[in-house]
């Protein structure tokens, strides 16, 4: 205990690079209360299992799905892995039933897809075909169409990409997927709690998508670990289930076994508090912050990528970047070396102004 007592966790006031945020106080309380429960054993921990059903219903409402299937996962990584897993198992099932499952299956996604999909492809023995993005960092539809073939299990579109906050053309990608008898997954891990307040077409209501990752522990303001896997059909979750002989419940569809009830309870509490008005306000404030920051960069002659969601990327010299890190700003870079600032709920206008003051001082 001594060793923990001597330390304090990271303060959020200089964190400009994270896709997680300070949990809402009600979500924090609920998470602590349910810390010792395990939704992985619903016959023993009935209350938290019921809460998980409510969490999935609520996530469904946010993502435009009336009868939602799915579960609260450990994060977007698990949700993405399980989407690929379900697609592979469903194709294998089609094979056993006399269909023609691919002998050399592949999945197709833009280069902007999160690296969790690389993990999924590796573990599940499927080929990941990444296709280029267009000038605005969105999946190039011609490239998607060219990459898809008879062996494609799944097409993945990103709704709120990790590096540039872009939304892929989801309805058109779903059409391409379904024309090839493949499934369509949307990774809205980061974007899912802000996109309902935009005009983007990203949800189950906007396109015939099959599954989605949508994480309460990012913009949903729930404590970690709370990811979300959603599916339109029950068969998607059934395709993930294995028998659980010694549990009272007979099957389990999650990747992890024992799970923290904190994630489930925190997610429900956050959504109760914030959906929809709180999330809408959060989106508006953070989009305004991102627009402010982008304008300030542009005014200083710094090349900036338009923040179409609350995420700003801009060109900074490596020396300036390092100098800002030395000032203890927690900032990150894209693969191309651009500064990347994620305007999460804990990022205040005052923090951005202080950041700009430091930038002006250290810039080289």
Binding site for ligand 0PR (CB under 6 A): 18-20, 75-77, 80, 114, 116, 158, 161-162, 187, 189-190, 215, 227
Which residue is associated with the tokens 């906050």? 165
Q: How far is the CB of 241 from ligand 0PR (least distance, A)?
A: 22
Q: Which is nearer to ligand 0PR, 112 or 236 (CB)?
A: 112
Closest by CA to 49, choosing from 27, 34, 66, 63, is: 34
Closest by CA to 181, choosing from 109, 87, 118, 81, is: 87
Q: How far is the CB of 106 from ligand 0PR (least distance, A)?
A: 20
Q: Which is nearer to ligand 0PR, 72 or 240 (CB)?
A: 72
Q: How far is the CB of 58 from ligand 0PR (least distance, A)?
A: 18
Q: How far is the CB of 12 from ligand 0PR (least distance, A)?
A: 10
Q: Which is nearer to ligand 0PR, 52 or 215 (CB)?
A: 215
Q: Which is nearer to ligand 0PR, 237 or 309 (CB)?
A: 309
Distance (Å, whole) CA 11 – CA 313 = 23
Distance (Å, whole) CA 144 – CA 156 = 10
362 contact partners, CB below 8 Å, separation of at least 6: 320, 323, 324, 326, 327
Check whether the bond before 225 is cis (ω within 30° of 0): yes
Question: How many other C-beta atoms are found inside a 10 Å radius of the C-beta of residue 284?
Answer: 13
Q: How far is the CB of 164 from ligand 0PR (least distance, A)?
A: 11
Q: Which is nearer to ligand 0PR, 123 or 299 (CB)?
A: 123
Using alpha carbons, list the distances in angstroms from residue 71 to 47, 78, 224, 230.
15, 11, 15, 7
């Amino acid at each position: 205990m001594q060793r923990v007592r001597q330390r304090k966790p990271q303060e959020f006031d200089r964190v400009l690079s994270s896709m997680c945020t300070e949990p809402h106080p009600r979500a924090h309380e609920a998470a602590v209360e349910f810390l010792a429960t395990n939704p992985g054993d619903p016959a023993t921990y009935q209350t938290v299992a019921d809460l998980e059903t409510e969490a999935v219903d609520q996530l469904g409402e946010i993502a435009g799905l009336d009868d939602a299937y799915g579960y609260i996962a450990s994060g977007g990584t698990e949700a993405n892995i399980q989407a690929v897993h379900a697609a592979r198992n469903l194709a294998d099932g089609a094979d056993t039933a006399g269909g023609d499952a691919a002998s050399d299956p592949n999945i197709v996604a833009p280069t902007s897809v999160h690296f969790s999909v690389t993990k999924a492809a590796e573990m599940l023995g499927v080929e990941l075909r990444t296709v280029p993005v267009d000038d605005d960092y969105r999946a190039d539809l011609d490239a998607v169409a060219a990459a898809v073939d008879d062996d494609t299990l799944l097409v993945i579109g990103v709704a709120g990409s990790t590096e540039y906050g872009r939304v892929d053309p989801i309805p058109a990608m779903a059409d391409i997927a379904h024309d090839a008898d493949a499934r369509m997954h949307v990774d809205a891990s980061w974007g899912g709690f802000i996109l309902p307040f935009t005009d983007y077409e990203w949800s189950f209501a906007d396109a015939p998508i099959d599954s989605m990752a949508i994480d309460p522990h990012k913009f949903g303001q729930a404590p970690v670990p709370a990811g979300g896997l959603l599916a339109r059909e029950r068969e998607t979750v059934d395709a993930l289930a294995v028998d659980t002989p010694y549990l009272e419940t007979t099957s389990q569809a999650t990747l992890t076994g024992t799970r923290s009830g904190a994630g489930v309870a925190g997610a429900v509490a956050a959504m109760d508090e914030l959906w929809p008005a709180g999330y809408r306000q959060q989106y508006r404030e953070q989009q305004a912050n991102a627009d402010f920051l982008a304008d300030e960069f542009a005014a200083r002659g710094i090349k900036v990528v338009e923040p179409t969601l609350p995420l700003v990327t801009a060109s900074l010299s490596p020396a300036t970047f390092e100098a800002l890190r030395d000032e203890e700003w927690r900032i990150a870079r894209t693969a191309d070396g651009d500064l990347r600032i994620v305007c999460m709920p804990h990022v205040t206008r005052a923090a951005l102004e202080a950041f700009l003051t430091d930038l002006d001082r250290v810039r080289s």
